[in-house]
Chains A and B, each alone.
Chain A
Amino acid sequence: MRLNPLTIKKIRRFRSIKRGYYAFLLLFLMILISLFSEAFINSRAMLVKYEGRFYFPIPGNMIPGATFGLDYDYETQYRELSKIFKAQDNGNWVLMPLVPFNPYENDLKDGQYPPFAPDFKNRHFLGTDNVGRDVLARLAYGFRTAIFFSLVLLVVNYAVGVSIGCAMGYFGGKFDLFFQRIIEIWSNVPFLYIVIILSSIMIPNFSMLIGIMAFFGWMGMTWTMRTLTYKEKAREYALAARALGATDTRIIFKHILPNTLSVIVTFAPFSVSSGIIALTSLDFLGFGLPPPTPSWGELLSQGWANMGAYWIVGSVIFAMTLTLLLVTFIGEAVREAFDPKLHTTYE
């Protein structure tokens, strides 16, 4: 793919803004790692050597305990297995991931009641929540859910918002007038109540929640896009394209849209952060993804209920602050990099 020299210039400019660029790299890395969370944070072992054979339990089906000479048919408890092998000391071994817990399992103790404080010996680096689930594991898996939720939401929102906004600006007249009224009415539907009602009668899953939120979130972009399109439509190149006989679709998608892209891109990071906040607050209120899905909002509400367990509320607040900060830094840098004023400075 050959990039437009202007775009290359913008990217170069973005890279020269260090804070935003490093924030971008860090966030990118976090997302990348989160994609492979299963390898780092899992109750399944990364590698088991048993009787001369190697097993890779993480991908694929569960391996029953009986495979490793244990007396049960359910999934092997690898942490236990590791201890057993060590005690037997006959060449078998288990390599556990860095955090040997999955986000759903309850690591409970006799005579003590969760939440348990951070404990490096048992590799609960951030402690456990109020039913003994590892906070780090839930945080990491929750991050993945949150970031992908907001990215998908962004795409859906922008796809709908940008096309309708563009069409309003481009066609104008009655079409514009009609959609303006529609959007005004739509914006006045109380989003939170609808979500509360919907999620009390059915259990929203990931895609349904995206659907519901996009249903009420697409209006944001329309106003901006409408204005931009009005402006671009009146430009000479748009008129020229029309004079050459280009279709409306072609003019919108080939000529106008690329020229408004900088604005869309500038908005995007901020939409990502608002998406994360929206999901977290819904989960916090108990109207988001159903339990026991790991989520930040759920951790936050647990932290709220167990203020004494500082590690819960501390971890999730730190993680949220970090993520939102990174996204905001990226947003700032993008805005600056795409700022057209740079190219039109006169001295």
Chain B
Amino acid sequence: MKTKNGSRRIFGILLLTLLILGGSVFLFSCGKEQENKTKEKSDAPLASKAPAKTTSMEKSPTAKLPEEIEWLTNDSDPVFGSPKAIKGGTLHETVLSFPMTLRLVGPDSNGSFAGVLRSNQLSLIGIHPNTLNIVPELATHWAYGKDKKTMYFKLNEKARWSDGQPVTANDYAYTLEFMRSKYIVAPWYNDYYTKEIDRVIVYDDYTLAVVGTKAEPDLYLKLGMAPTPRHFFGELNADFVKKYNWEIEPNTGPYQIEKFEKGKNLRLKRKQDWWAADLTYFKNRFNVDEVIFEVVRDTNIQWEYFKKARLDSFGMTIPQYWHEKSDTGVVNKGYVHKIWFYNDTQRSAQGLWLNQDREIFKDPDVRYAFAHAMNIEKVIEQVLRNDYERLESGFVGYGPYSNNTIRARRYDLEKVKELMTASGWHRGNDGIWEKGDQRFSVEVVYTVDEHTARLVVLKEEAKKAGVELNLQKLDASASFKKVLEKKHDVAWMGWSTSLRPQFWEHFHSINAHKPQTNNITNTDDPEMDKLIDAHRNSLDEKERITLSLKIQEKIHEIGCFVPTFMVPYVREGYWRWWRLPDVPGTKQTESLFDAFSSSTGGLFWYDKDLHDQTLSAMESGQTFDPVTRTDETYRMKP
């Protein structure tokens, strides 16, 4: 419940499968290509599969590490845990519903609680949340193969499963076996670990290679897989789904489930002698001893829990909580602090997507005019309390891949007039632009009730510019269907994000003019195709960045997307005995009180003295100054 206004709810529904199951964004659109790939593979099945088979075994006597190999590691990036942090304390959290299973894969395993469990399963390597460089997790060193589809890893010999067993190369080979098994009833994983990961080669207990199916850039995002405990699962059979529903699987992260009462609560305990506690980027993190999740089935009740200190922190990104509900005793008396933390991550491409197959939007001038008729600034200022910010393009927050010179077209009646008259339109009797039997009146499809307030303001303002918007609120799946079938005029929606901008699915002509692809603007531009193809085929980071910037310029030039809002921050309330580092989070932080995330979590710590002081103050009626902290370290400057 730490998202804003439910506005991400749609995106969640829209791209649930894509996002949660591993960040691959090609599900809709890549089907064909992947089919081709499998075909290629099946032409030479023996050659490529034979080594894969041997790898699942203990050790392959034939496997030999290539000689010219350059081992890399990273211990020089800035650390972000606070040296002041001390261990101890219990963090109380709430969840809206109890997980339906503790399994990490298979039926019902993708609930909202899965994130907590998965965060405690480390991978070979991680990503530094501020520099986005690779950092060690279970591997100490890594190296790239010459074929651009292989990565080699040296494992940390200290790594232990929570049951004390060492983590060895064999456990990675087992991941492949496990994820490809039909017994886990997880078609997506079956597919991904077959079509994306070719094989794991074991050289010795602590050296391995992971081979992808194709050469591609940013290989490390795909190949840094997680191990699976072979000694725990062993040989799989049809019993798997049932047998492991409530089994506590060994993990490699800082916490492990200690006990749980189904439907009520779940308690995780910090490992006292966690093997990774002294790793450079894990130091001074994961400080709290215990994390207790209690099931509270309603957000309003969770808020009441928070006010009674039965919950330690509360997400207040939603304006109503930040501005109104938090104007309450415990905050005003200074017992609860508020923090407004700007992060710097990939922003969802939210906005108005124009269907260029509609006659009216075939003319670029009309598309520009449409963009100039949207008074987004007024909505931000007078409806959204200036809490939201203007999104300038569809790809903000992608680091060097973002073209930060692009500015979204602003509300400008003069420009609308200029563009429309240039295209031969004139204002009709009701003030709406007309040309022949065409009228500048378009349907806007949207799904979220709360967005009506924003859209009615846009509608009234657009009328001044001579553009009529007809609002069409549909249920999420009906709307998504309509948009994917390209039956909309304008779609009011956003896409989920991944670590790198995805252009092909949204803007390549191969996906235009046909249903069920993500090119919902029906962009069909030969020059754009050329750029996107070059970008897709390039394995050179610099070239990819240059092309990415160019493509974004081109998107702006085509003008089929009117960016609207972004929420470049998180806001939270927390009881004053919780302490945060001087820079309280990282660029990628989505919640400052995330106890587990291996990349951004566990930065806060518990201060017992402050706790005692606060409790006695509350008893005696003593108050403190209210505190609202704003941190703009990572705020994106336009």
A interface residues, Cβ below 8 angstroms from B: 61-62, 64, 72-75, 104-106, 108-110, 113-114, 130-133, 200-201, 203, 286, 290-292
CB-based nearest A residue for B383: A131
A74's partner among B385, B465, B473, B475 (CB-CB below 8 A) is B465
Q: How many residues of B contact A (CB 8 A)?
A: 29
B383's partner among A64, A108, A286, A291 (CB-CB below 8 A) is A108
Q: Kindly list chain B residues whose C-beta atoms are within 8 Å of the C-beta of A61.
A: 429-430
Majority secondary structure of chain B interface residues (helix, strand, loop or mixed): helix
Q: How far is the CA of A64 from the CA of B426 in the complex (A)?
A: 13
Q: How far is the CA of A108 from the CA of B456 in the complex (A)?
A: 12
A selection of 15 A-B contacts at a CB cut-off of 8 Å is: A62-B429, A64-B427, A64-B431, A73-B413, A73-B431, A74-B463, A74-B466, A75-B463, A108-B383, A108-B457, A109-B382, A131-B456, A200-B478, A201-B474, A201-B478
- Contact present for B382 and A110 (CB under 8 Å): yes
Q: How far is the CA of A200 from the CA of B475 in the complex (A)?
A: 5
Q: Kindly list chain B residues whose C-beta atoms are within 8 Å of the C-beta of A73.
A: 413, 417, 427, 431, 466
Q: Known contacts A74-B466, A201-B478; is A105 also within 8 Å of B473 by CB?
A: no
A262 to chain B, nearest CB (A): 44
Q: How far is the CA of A64 from the CA of B382 in the complex (A)?
A: 25
- Contact present for A292 and B478 (CB under 8 Å): no
A200's partner among B455, B460, B474 (CB-CB below 8 A) is B474
Q: Kindly list chain A residues whose C-beta atoms are within 8 Å of the C-beta of B464.
A: 72, 74-75
Is B557 part of the contact surface with A, judged by Cβ < 8 Å?
no
Q: How far is the CA of A244 from the CA of B385 in the complex (A)?
A: 79
Q: Known contacts A62-B431, A108-B382, A200-B475; is A292 also within 8 Å of B459 by CB?
A: yes
Q: How far is the CA of A61 from the CA of B427 in the complex (A)?
A: 12
Chain B 364-391 interface residues, beta-carbon cutoff 8 Å to A: 378, 381-383, 385
Q: Kindly list chain B residues whose C-beta atoms are within 8 Å of the C-beta of A106.
A: 382, 456-457, 460
Interchain residue pairs A-B with the least CB separation, the first 8? A200-B475, A74-B464, A108-B382, A61-B429, A131-B453, A62-B431, A292-B456, A201-B478
Q: Residues 162-180 of chain B: 1 if any A CB is under 8 Å from the residue's CB, otherwise 0?
A: 0000000000000000000
Is B472 part of the contact surface with A, judged by Cβ < 8 Å?
yes
Q: How far is the CA of A322 from the CA of B325 in the complex (A)?
A: 34
Q: Known contacts A200-B475, A286-B449; is A62 also within 8 Å of B430 by CB?
A: yes
Q: Kindly list chain A residues whose C-beta atoms are within 8 Å of the C-beta of B473.
A: 203, 286, 290-291
- Contact present for A131 and B457 (CB under 8 Å): yes
Q: How far is the CA of A292 from the CA of B451 in the complex (A)?
A: 12
Q: Kindly list chain B residues whose C-beta atoms are within 8 Å of the C-beta of A72.
A: 413, 464
Is B471 part of the contact surface with A, judged by Cβ < 8 Å?
yes
Q: Known contacts A61-B430, A110-B381; is A290 also within 8 Å of B460 by CB?
A: no
Q: Kindly list chain B residues whose C-beta atoms are within 8 Å of the C-beta of A133.
A: 456
B476 to chain A, nearest CB (A): 9
CB-based nearest A residue for B472: A203
Q: Kindly list chain A residues whose C-beta atoms are within 8 Å of the C-beta of B378.
A: 108
Q: Kindly list chain B residues whose C-beta atoms are within 8 Å of the C-beta of A113.
A: 382-383, 385
B480 to chain A, nearest CB (A): 12
Q: Kindly list chain B residues whose C-beta atoms are within 8 Å of the C-beta of A108.
A: 378, 382-383, 457
B interface residues, Cβ below 8 angstroms from A: 378, 381-383, 385, 413, 417, 427, 429-431, 449, 452-453, 455-457, 459-460, 463-466, 471-475, 478
B231 to chain A, nearest CB (A): 50
Q: How far is the CA of A133 from the CA of B413 in the complex (A)?
A: 23
Q: How far is the CA of A49 from the CA of B359 in the complex (A)?
A: 42
Q: Known contacts A62-B431, A73-B417, A292-B471; is A104 also within 8 Å of B382 by CB?
A: no
Q: Kindly list chain A residues whose C-beta atoms are within 8 Å of the C-beta of B463.
A: 74-75
Q: Known contacts A62-B430, A131-B383, A203-B472; is A74 also within 8 Å of B413 by CB?
A: yes
Q: Kindly list chain B residues whose C-beta atoms are within 8 Å of the C-beta of A104.
A: 456, 459-460
Q: Kindly list chain B residues whose C-beta atoms are within 8 Å of the C-beta of A64.
A: 427, 431
Q: Kindly list chain A residues whose C-beta atoms are within 8 Å of the C-beta of B430.
A: 61-62
CB-based nearest B residue for A131: B453
B520 to chain A, nearest CB (A): 19
A142 to chain B, nearest CB (A): 15
Q: How far is the CA of A227 from the CA of B212 in the complex (A)?
A: 79
Q: Kindly list chain A residues whose C-beta atoms are within 8 Å of the C-beta of B459.
A: 104, 292
Q: How far is the CA of A75 from the CA of B428 in the complex (A)?
A: 12
- Contact present for A74 and B431 (CB under 8 Å): yes
Q: How far is the CA of A62 from the CA of B468 in the complex (A)?
A: 14
Q: How far is the CA of A109 from the CA of B459 in the complex (A)?
A: 18
B141 to chain A, nearest CB (A): 54
Q: How far is the CA of A75 from the CA of B429 in the complex (A)?
A: 10
Q: How far is the CA of A343 from the CA of B385 in the complex (A)?
A: 68
Q: How far is the CA of A104 from the CA of B460 in the complex (A)?
A: 7
A287 to chain B, nearest CB (A): 10
Q: How far is the CA of A62 from the CA of B463 in the complex (A)?
A: 12
Q: How far is the CA of A286 from the CA of B474 in the complex (A)?
A: 10
Q: Kindly list chain A residues whose C-beta atoms are within 8 Å of the C-beta of B427.
A: 64, 73
Q: How far is the CA of A164 from the CA of B472 in the complex (A)?
A: 37
Q: How far is the CA of A291 from the CA of B449 in the complex (A)?
A: 10
- Inter-chain pairs besides A74-B431, A132-B382, A291-B473, 17 sampled, C-beta below 8 Å: A61-B430, A73-B413, A73-B417, A74-B464, A106-B456, A108-B378, A110-B381, A110-B382, A113-B382, A131-B457, A200-B478, A203-B473, A286-B473, A290-B473, A291-B455, A292-B452, A292-B456
CB-based nearest A residue for B481: A201
Q: How far is the CA of A109 from the CA of B475 in the complex (A)?
A: 32
Q: Kindly list chain B residues whose C-beta atoms are within 8 Å of the C-beta of A200.
A: 474-475, 478
Q: Kindly list chain B residues whose C-beta atoms are within 8 Å of the C-beta of A114.
A: 383
Q: Kindly list chain B residues whose C-beta atoms are within 8 Å of the C-beta of A110.
A: 381-382
Q: How far is the CA of A201 from the CA of B429 in the complex (A)?
A: 33
Q: How far is the CA of A177 from the CA of B465 in the complex (A)?
A: 61
A291's partner among B381, B385, B413, B471 (CB-CB below 8 A) is B471
Q: Kindly list chain B residues whose C-beta atoms are within 8 Å of the C-beta of A109.
A: 382
Q: How far is the CA of A64 from the CA of B428 in the complex (A)?
A: 11
B173 to chain A, nearest CB (A): 48
Q: Kindly list chain B residues whose C-beta atoms are within 8 Å of the C-beta of A286.
A: 449, 473
Q: How far is the CA of A61 from the CA of B430 in the complex (A)?
A: 6
CB-based nearest B residue for A104: B460
Q: How far is the CA of A247 from the CA of B370 in the complex (A)?
A: 64
Q: Kindly list chain A residues whose C-beta atoms are within 8 Å of the C-beta of B474.
A: 200-201, 203
B341 to chain A, nearest CB (A): 23
A112 to chain B, nearest CB (A): 9
Q: How far is the CA of A73 from the CA of B383 in the complex (A)?
A: 25
Q: Kindly list chain B residues whose C-beta atoms are within 8 Å of the C-beta of A62.
A: 429-431
B318 to chain A, nearest CB (A): 13
CB-based nearest A residue for B450: A305
Q: How far is the CA of A73 from the CA of B456 in the complex (A)?
A: 21
A298 to chain B, nearest CB (A): 9
CB-based nearest B residue for A62: B431
A200 to chain B, nearest CB (A): 4
